């Protein structure tokens, strides 16, 4: 009985030691770009770290653009932990509200 248990453990340990080969894939080329405007570099550095410009382009049209973008930037910081400096928040909101 002990041999059977030891054999099962040895086989399980051996199976666990098998590793998968790395997977290589090519990401698609970026097809959208952030629109030119004041504070573009700040938006690229902060928003572009996690989002493509496509993501921002897909946001629905809204009446209160500044309020919408303020809420979105705040959500990115508080909910998702985006490391955005306090001094950059207003610049990002102004850029997004004026540009999108």
> 64: domain CATH number?
1.10.760.10
Class of residue 7 by CB neighbours under 10 A (exposed 0-12, middle 13-18, buried 19+): exposed
Residue 32 is predicted with a pLDDT of 82
Residue 100 is predicted with a pLDDT of 85
What DSSP state is assigned to residue 37?
-
Residue 74 lies inside a defined structural domain of this protein = yes
Residue 89 is predicted with a pLDDT of 98
Residue 57 lies inside a defined structural domain of this protein = yes
pLDDT tens-digit map of 10-49: 666 666 556 778 888 887 777 788 999 999 999 999 999 8
Kindly report the pTM of this predicted structure: 0.69
Q: What is the mean pLDDT of residues 46-53?
A: 91
The domain tally of the chain equals 1
Residue 67 lies inside a defined structural domain of this protein = yes
Residue 1 lies inside a defined structural domain of this protein = no
Residue with tokens 């909101």: 93
Residue 6 lies inside a defined structural domain of this protein = no
Residue 19 lies inside a defined structural domain of this protein = no
Residue 12 lies inside a defined structural domain of this protein = no
Residue 4 is predicted with a pLDDT of 72
Map residue 15 onto helix, strand or coil. Answer: helix
Domain that holds residue 78: 28-99
With left for phi above 0 and alpha for psi between -120 and 50, is residue 20 left, alpha or beta? beta
Residue 26 is predicted with a pLDDT of 86
Q: What is the mean pLDDT of residues 51-78?
A: 92
Residue 94 lies inside a defined structural domain of this protein = yes
């Amino acid at each position: 009985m002990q041999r059977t248990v030891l054999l099962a453990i040895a086989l399980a340990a051996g199976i666990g030691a098998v590793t998968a080969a790395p997977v290589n894939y090519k990401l698609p080329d970026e097809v959208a770009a952030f629109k030119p405007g004041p504070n573009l570099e700040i938006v690229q550095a902060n928003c572009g770290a996690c989002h493509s410009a496509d993501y921002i382009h897909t946001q629905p049209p809204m009446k209160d653009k500044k309020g919408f973008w303020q809420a979105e930037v705040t959500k990115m910081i508080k909910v998702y932990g985006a490391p955005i400096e306090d001094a950059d928040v207003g610049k990002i909101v102004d850029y997004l509200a004026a540009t999108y």
